[in-house]
Amino acid sequence: MPTPRLKTTDIHKSFGATKALRGVSFEVMPGEVHALIGENGAGKSTLMKVLSGAHEQDSGTLELNGQPFHPGNPLNARQAGVAMIYQELNLAPDLTVEENILLGREPSRFGIIDRRQRRKQALHALDELEHHVPLDVPVNRLTIAEQQLVEIARALVFEPKVLIMDEPTSSLTQQDAKNLFRVIRQLKQRGVSVIYISHFLEECQQIADRYTVLRDGESVGSGEMKNARLDEIIHLMVGREIADIYPPHARQPGNVIFDIHELAGYEKPSDVTLELRQGEILGMAGLVGAGRTETLRAVFGLDRIRRGKVYYLKNNLTQRSPRGSWRNGLGMVSENRKEEGLMLDHSLADNLCLTRYRPFSSFGWINRRQQLAATIEVMTKLDVRAREASQSIGELSGGNQQKIAIGRLLHHDADILLLDEPTRGIDVGSKQQIYRIMNELAEQGKSVIFVSSYLPELLGVCDRIGVMCRGVLSGIRPVQDWTEHEIIAAATGQK
C-alpha cells in the first residue's frame, strides 16, 4: 500500500474548556481528492489549521510523505508543500491582483523584484483557472467571487503537494466552479493531493475520491465516495435523519408592500423594477457580477442611486441611509460578513443587538443581563454553537457567525429582509434551519428578497424568482414556472 501523502494520528486540540478536536485520525493519498465533511463547528477548520501550521495540536502526530511533520507556521507549511485556501479570504486588500498572487513568492534578480516575470506568473495562474481578473486592480475593488479566484490562483503559484480548499466554490458561478474542478483534476494527474471541504455534498460526490465525516471534533465515518449515499453522509454529519431540506409551505402572499421602480446605480444595477408582497419570499438569481448585490446595497442605502424610486407601504425610501432603512423596517444581511456584516472582535451579544439596544437600555445605560438574555434566546432558536453570549464572535465558525448576522434581523424585528447569499458557507443542517426560519417569518407576514447562486434552494424556498443579467432584472414569475435550465439561460442572456 502506498505511503499517505499526509497523515494525522489521534489529534487533540482544545481552546480553553472547548475541545475542538478529539482524537482525529485522517489521511490523504498522493493524487487523491479527499472530501472532509461536517457541520459548522464539527472541527474541520481547526484540523486544517493544524495541518497548515496556523495552530499546533495539543497531542497526536502529523506525517508528510511518511516523515514527521511539524509546520510551526503557515509559511513553513507552504515551503514544505502544504497550502491552504481559507473560506474567509486572506488577501491584502490595498495591493493589486498581481501583487497578491505572488505575495511572499515574488521573483527577483539581485534583490529587486522582477516585475515582468511576476506579471507572467500571475497571468499563468489565472489562465489555469480560465478567468482573467484585471491584474492592476486593487483587490478591495473586486467582488467576493473574484477575490476567491485570486486566492486560489495564489495557492497554485506555490505548486503545492497538498492543497487544502475550504469552501472554494461558495461564491463562484457554475462555470467558474466547473473550471475549478478541471484544475483540480489536472492537479490530481500531477500527483497533488487535494483536501476538499464543502457543504455542497453534490460537489463532493462529483469531485472527490474518498470522504471523511467529522462530528463534534471526532471522525465518525469515511469511505469511497463512489459507494456513498448522500442521506447516509448527512446522517453521519448531524447524527439524525433529515427528511426534507426545504420546508413545505402553502403561503398566500398578500398585497404589495414594497415597490422598486426603474432603479439604477452609478455602475450597477441599470434597471430593476419589482413588487414584493407581504408574506412573500422573492428570489433573485443571476451570475456573479450581474448586479444582485449592488441592487440590495442601493435599496438599503449603502450605495447611491442614480435614478428610480423605492417605496415601502407607499412611503418613499429612496436615498435613505442604512440607519433610516433600519428605522423603517428594512434589514440586510451582507454577502461579505467578515468585513461588512460583523464586528469580529466584539461579542455575540453586541453583534446581535447592534441595531436595536432600546429594549434593554435606559438613560443611556445598557442592561447587560437583559441583553445577554435576548442574545441567548436567538442563539437557541438558531442553534448557534458557542460557549456563551459574551464570547468574541471571531472565535466562531463561519456558519455560526452567519447565524448571528441573520439573528440580528430577528432581534430587530425587520419587516423587509434583504438576504444576500445568507446560506453561503453553512452546512446542510444549518441551512435547513435557515430555510425554516425564512418560511416562518414569511408566514408571520414578513417579506424577503433572497439572493442566491445556488439554484436548488431558490427553487425550494421561494414563491417567485426573478433573474438578473448585466444589471437588469427581468422574468419575475412563480417558482413553479421555472427550471434550473431556464434560470441559467436567462442569466446568460438567452431568450
For 79, the grid coordinates are: 515551503
Task: Tell me how far apart the alpha carbons of residues 133 and 122 are, in angstroms, rounded to a whole number.
Answer: 10
Task: Choose the weakest-confidence range: 15-24, 31-40, 116-125.
Answer: 15-24
Q: Which of 86-100, 231-245, 258-272, 361-375 has the highest mean pLDDT?
A: 258-272
User: What pLDDT does 495 receive?
Assistant: 61
Q: Which of 2-6, 111-115, 202-206, 461-465 has the highest mean pLDDT?
A: 461-465
Q: What is the mean pLDDT of residues 189-203?
A: 87
Residue 215 pLDDT level (bands cut at 50, 70, 90): confident
Q: What is the mean pLDDT of residues 213-222?
A: 89
Above 90 in pLDDT, residue 16? no
For 315, the grid coordinates are: 412611503
Q: How many CB atoms lie within 10 A of CB 39?
A: 26
Amino acid 289 reads G
Name the 3-class secondary structure at 460: helix
Predicted model pTM: 0.65
Superfamily of 256-491 according to CATH: P-loop containing nucleotide triphosphate hydrolases (3.40.50.300)
Q: Please, what's the largest Cα pairwise distance for the chain?
A: 71
User: What pLDDT does 42 receive?
Assistant: 82
Give backbone dihedrals phi and psi of 261, rounded to 5 degrees, phi first.
Answer: -125, 115
Give Cα separations from 293 to 268, 300, 337, 398 (angstroms): 9, 11, 13, 20
The 8-class DSSP code of residue 365 comes to E
For 380, the grid coordinates are: 437557541
For 427, the grid coordinates are: 452546512
Name the CA dihedral angle for 105, 111, 115, 116, rounded to a multiple of 10 degrees.
-100
Task: Tell me how far apart the alpha carbons of residues 356 and 21 are, in angstroms, rounded to a whole number.
Answer: 36
Q: Which CATH number fits domain 6-238: 1.20.120.1200, 3.30.450.40, 3.40.50.300, 2.40.30.170?
A: 3.40.50.300
With cell 451582507, the residue in question is 334
Q: In what order do the strands lie in the sheet with 472-478?
A: 330-333, 416-420, 447-451, 281-286, 464-469, 472-478
User: What pLDDT does 64 receive?
Assistant: 92
- What percent of the chain shows pLDDT beyond 90? 38
Which DSSP string corresponds to 426-449? Answer: --HHHHHHHHHHHHHHHHTT-EEE
Amino acid 382 reads L
| Beta carbons of 228 and 205 less than 8 angstroms apart | yes
Half-sphere exposure of 237 (CA within 13 A, CB side): 26
User: What pLDDT does 240 receive?
Assistant: 57
Same CATH fold assignment for domains 6-238 and 256-491: yes
For 36, the grid coordinates are: 472532509
Q: Which of 145-154, 244-253, 465-474 has the highest mean pLDDT?
A: 465-474
Task: Tell me how far apart the alpha carbons of residues 462 and 478 are, in angstroms, rounded to a whole number.
Answer: 9
Measure CA of the first residue to CA of the last residue in the chain; give whole Å. Answer: 54
The 8-class DSSP code of residue 358 comes to G
Radius of gyration of the chain (CA): 23
| Beta carbons of 390 and 399 less than 8 angstroms apart | no
Q: What is the mean pLDDT of residues 411-440?
A: 86
Q: In what order do the strands lie in the sheet with 210-215?
A: 82-85, 162-166, 193-197, 33-37, 210-215, 218-224
Task: Tell me how far apart the alpha carbons of residues 32 and 4 are, in angstroms, rounded to a whole number.
Answer: 10
Which DSSP string corresponds to 73-124? Answer: SHHHHHHHTEEEE-SS----TTSBHHHHHTTT---EETTEE-HHHHHHHHHH
Nearest CA to 25 out of 51, 2, 7 is that of 7
Give Cα separations from 78 to 11, 82, 141, 386, 474 (angstroms): 21, 5, 27, 31, 46
CA atoms 321, 322, 327, 328: torsion sign: positive
**231: CB partners within 8 A, 6+ apart:** 241
Above 60 in pLDDT, residue 241? no
Domain limits of the chain? Answer: 6-238, 256-491
Above 90 in pLDDT, residue 156? no
- Residues in the chain, overall count: 495
CA atoms 423, 427, 428, 431: torsion sign: negative
